[in-house]
């Protein structure tokens, strides 16, 4: 990996220059952060699980006509994606109250929302990703009106599809975060789904037991993060057969089993 030039390093992923112009390699790290990176840890195997879970979800979304940046998985920790211009807005879709909406509106965790609710947060770590409205997005030019219309439409379609996909494996999709980008060809520009969809950015509860199968286990010091992510991968039918804790990390070193 070190021979490739690094374009950007985020909290959980690294972007490297891709093999062809207009492509990037998205590398999934084992690093976990929460509360605007005030809490950090390494969860061995998380990158592998998020890579295969996100590959599966993006492939399924592509099959129903949602355009995405995903091209193909390259290895246990890498995927080839289209280079896109990221729109600096995190789009959150909620079906059930959890996390920040509970604090903000005084709702009890687990309350079903009257309908799916879309929220926006400005992607800025220094500001702690503040919540914003559609007005901020268009007034500050982060996205134009027609782009925002497409984003909302796509976010709700993704929600409908993923609610069904997870329900089929006994999981409630409580909420999740999406990111979008602009993909330019010579003739036109297309809004595409970017980033990843994995238990790092979704709340996933077992439908029978309400057990949390997502990053809240890390945020709340519950433990069992990897087992929970593995359970999601297993139910989706994408759990790698190799011991994920033994798959090489970013430096090509083998990680010890824990």
Q: Does residue 196 belong to the site contacting ligand UDP (CB under 6 A)?
A: no
Query: Residue 226 is encoded by which pair of tokens?
Result: 């990897």
Spatial separation of the C-alpha atoms in residues 10 and 93, rounded to whole Å: 22
Q: Residues 28, 176, 205, 218: which binds ligand UDP (CB under 6 A)?
A: 176
Backbone region of residue 174 per phi and psi (left: phi > 0; alpha: psi in -120 to 50; beta: other values): alpha
Rounded to whole angstroms, what are the CA distances from 168 to 143, 178, 236?
A: 34, 21, 9
Decide whether 121 or 183 has the Cβ nearer to ligand UDP. 121
Q: Residues 82, 172, 203, 212: which binds ligand UDP (CB under 6 A)?
A: 203
Residues numbered 74-103 forming contacts with ligand UDP, rule: CB under 6 A: 90, 92, 99-101
Binding to ligand UDP by CB under 6 A, coded x per residue (else -) over 38-77, reads ----------------------------------------
Residue 227 neighbours by CB distance under 10 Å: 10
Minimum CB–partner distance for residue 177 and ligand UDP (Å): 4
Binding to ligand UDP by CB under 6 A, coded x per residue (else -) over 122-151, reads -------x----------------------
CB contact at 8 A, 149 and 143: no
- The answer for residues whose C-beta is within 8 angstroms of residue 232's C-beta and 6 or more apart is 49, 53, 171, 199, 204, 213, 214
Q: For binding to ligand UDP (CB under 6 A), which residues are involved?
A: 90, 92, 99-101, 129, 175-177, 201-203, 215
């Amino acid at each position: 990996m070190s021979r490739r030039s690094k374009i950007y390093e985020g909290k959980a992923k690294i972007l490297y220059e891709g093999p062809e112009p207009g492509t990037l390699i998205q590398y999934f790290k084992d690093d976990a952060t929460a509360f605007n990176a005030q809490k950090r840890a390494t969860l061995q195997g998380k990158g592998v699980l998020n890579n295969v879970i996100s590959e599966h979800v993006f492939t399924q979304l592509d099959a129903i006509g949602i355009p995405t940046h995903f091209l193909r998985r390259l290895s246990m920790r890498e995927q080839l994606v289209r280079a896109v211009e990221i729109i600096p807005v995190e789009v959150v879709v909620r079906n059930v109250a959890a996390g920040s909406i509970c604090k903000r509106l005084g709702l009890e965790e687990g309350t079903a929302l009257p309908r799916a609710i879309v929220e926006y947060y400005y992607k800025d770590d220094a500001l702690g990703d503040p919540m914003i409205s559609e007005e901020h997005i268009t007034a500050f030019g982060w996205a134009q009106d027609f782009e925002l219309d497409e984003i909302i439409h796509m976010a709700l379609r993704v929600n409908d599809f993923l609610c069904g996909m997870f329900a089929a494996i006994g999981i409630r999709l409580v909420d999740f975060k999406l990111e979008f980008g602009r993909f330019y060809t010579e003739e036109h520009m297309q809004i595409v789904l970017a980033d990843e969809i994995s238990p790092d950015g979704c709340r996933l509860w077992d439908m029978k037991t309400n057990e949390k199968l997502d990053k809240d286990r890390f945020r709340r010091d519950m433990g069992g993060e990897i087992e929970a992510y593995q359970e999601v991968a297993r139910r989706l039918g994408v759990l790698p057969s190799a011991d994920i804790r033994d798959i090489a990390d970013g430096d090509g070193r083998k990680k010890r089993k824990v």
